[in-house]
Structure 1
Amino acid sequence: MASKTMRSMRTPLARVRGLGSAKEGFHHWWMQRLTAIALVPLALWFVVSVAGMAGMDHAAAVTWIGSPAVTVLLVLLIAATFWHAQLGVQVVIEDYVHGEGCKLVALIAVKFAAVLLAVAGIVAVLRVSFGG
C-alpha cells in the first residue's frame, strides 16, 4: 500500500522519467534526414553508372567495381541504404505495433536484418573489388 501511495504522490515529471527523452527522438529524426541527403547523390551516381554499363561484360563490371572510388561509393551506398531503411521501418513499427512484446521483437528483428544485409552487401562488394 505504501508503494502505491508513494507513486500517486510523485510529480508528473517523476512519473515519466526513464520513458525516453526528446533528444532520442530528435537524433532519430536527424539521422533519417542525413541518410536521405546522403542517398540522393549516391543513388543518382549509381543509377547513372549502371545505365552507362549497358552492354558491359562481366570482366569490365568487375574492373569497374574494383576501382577504389567505386568500391568506396558502393560501400557508402549500401550502408546508408540499410541504415535509412531500418530507421524508417522502426518508425512504422513504433507507430503501428501496439503490443510491447511484439514491438520489441519486431524492432530487434529489423535491426538485426538491416545489419546482416548491409554486412552481406559490403562483403560482396569487397570480395569482388579485391578479387576474393
Structure 2
Amino acid sequence: MAHLRSPVARARGLGSAHTGVSEWWRQRLTAVALVPLCLWFGASLISLTGADHAHFAAWMAEPLHAVGLLLVIGAASYHFKVGLDVVIEDYVHTEWAKVTLLVVNGFGAVTTAAVSAFAVLKLAL
C-alpha cells in the first residue's frame, strides 16, 4: 500500500536537512565580501592597463596587493563552490552522480584556489 501514498505523504515526517539557512548565509557573506574586493580588483586592473612586466611585478611585490588578491581568490573560490553545491544538490537527482559532482566541485575549488594562491605568492615573493 506504500505505493499508493502521494509524494507529499512520503516526504512528510522526514524533516529538513537543516543546511539551507547556513548555505544561504555563507553565500551572502561571501557575496558581500566580494563586492569591495572586486571593486578594488577592477580598479587595480584598470590602473595596470598598459603597464610593462616590471611595473606589474613591482605592483605584485607590494604586500597589500598580494593579500588583496589572495582574499579575492579565497572568497571567490568559496562563493563559487557553495553556489555550485546548491545547484548540484537541487538539480542532480541520481545519487551517485550527485556525490561525484559534489566531490569534483570540492576538489576543483580547492585546486583552483591553491594554484592561484601559489601563483600570487610566487610573483609576490
Runs of 4+ in 1 over 4 A off after TM superposition: none
Alignment of 1:71-82 (within 5 A): 71-82=66-77
The unaligned stretches of length 5 or more in structure 1 are 1-11
Count of residues in correspondence between the two structures: 114
- In the alignment, which residue of structure 2 is the partner of 1:29? 24
How far apart are the structure 1 equivalents of 2:114 and 2:97? 26
How far apart are the structure 1 equivalents of 2:108 and 2:27? 18
The unaligned stretches of length 5 or more in structure 2 are 1-11
Bigger Rg, structure 1 or 2: 1
After superposition, the C-alpha distances for 1:79-98 in whole angstroms (9 at most, x for unaligned) are 00110011111111111100
Q: Kindly, what percent of the aligned residue pairs are identical?
A: 42
TM-score norm. by structure 2 comes to: 0.86
CA RMSD of aligned residues (A): 1.4
How far apart are the structure 1 equivalents of 2:21 and 2:64? 33
How far apart are the structure 1 equivalents of 2:92 and 2:112? 23
Alignment of 1:34-73 (within 5 A): 34-73=29-68
